[in-house]
Amino acid sequence: MSSVFLAEISELMYRKRYAKRTIDIYLKFIKAFIRFHQYKHPKTLHDAEVEAFLSHLVHIKDVSASTQALALNALVFLYKHVLHQPLSVELGFVRSRHRPKLPVVLTQSEVTQFFNNTSPETKLPIALLYGSGLRLMECLRLRVQDIDFDYKAVKVWNGKGGKHRIVTLSQQLIPELLTQINTVKSYLSIDSSNPNYAGVYMPHRQRDKFPNAAYDLSWHYLFPSAKLSKDPEDNSIRRHHIDQRTLQKAVKKAAQKAGLEKQVTPHTLRHSFATHLLQNGADIRTVQEQLGHTDLRTTQIYTHILQRGGNAVVSPFERIANIVG
């Protein structure tokens, strides 16, 4: 496979305004597809080879249904927009039967232990994951203007499924957020003196509508990277947000230091947010809106966690436990 071929796909996706993360994921699956077929060019392959690859992901790699769907989307894009040879609507591949895992949820005392062992450098964004129920990338993509101090709210733009929503903001985090915004101001002051600085990355519609906003504090990322970097879209110099792996590692390290036996990830904090809202009396519709779930059934999984013994069933063993003991 020629790297020029991949570069052309990447450039096309940028022109079509795909997110960088989506581009990376699609390229990963396209490369895996080509490797699976012993580096034959995709234009010599089609439906049958795509079916074989997608089935291989299930039989050998044992991937989830969502991962298999991502691989399919990547190949659909490849054949429709790059090679102009669209795949058949109905492909006959083996579909993953993996069911979504039950969420891991921390108790409120475990959350306290966790935050007592969180690094000061990453405590604020991690606190927003739990305090506002944000997904990892929703947190990292926050701009200064997305924090509404008057109404104690966080504005989430283009979350999962491209949806917008407004979520709660803890009063306790406001002083730290104000300090963080001052940090962003300091970075902007330094960057503004750099003749090569092209401003912060702007979504395409806003870029056209507000041509000078890239240099405005309100549009800058709330959690900026410590280093400037090249924008892969046009090689301009910008300051991006911190890398997602930074928070992932920080969460894992804090959980280990706290001695938590559960597998804790950034998404565990979101699960815990939802469960604790319900535990504290919030109605399920409110929790659904806070999480940005389209389907109420997705949110209802948290009600099952709170029910004693699963669906409120009390084990009959409890009636004889004293006798057996």
Tell me which residues are annotated as active site. Answer: 135, 160, 267, 270, 293, 302
Residue type present at position 314: V
- Report how far residue 32's alpha carbon sits from residue 78's, in angstroms, rounded to the nearest whole number: 13
Contacts for 299 with CB less than 8 Å, ≥ 6 apart = 274, 284, 287, 288, 291, 293
| Size of the chain, expressed as the number of residues it contains | 325
For 283, the token pair is: 């109605």
Closest CA to 203 of 194, 218, 213: 213
Q: Pull the structure tokens for residue 206.
A: 């806003």
Q: How far apart (Å, rounded) are the C-alpha atoms in residues 201 and 165? A: 21
Q: In whole angstroms, what is the distance from residue 32 CA to residue 91 CA?
A: 19
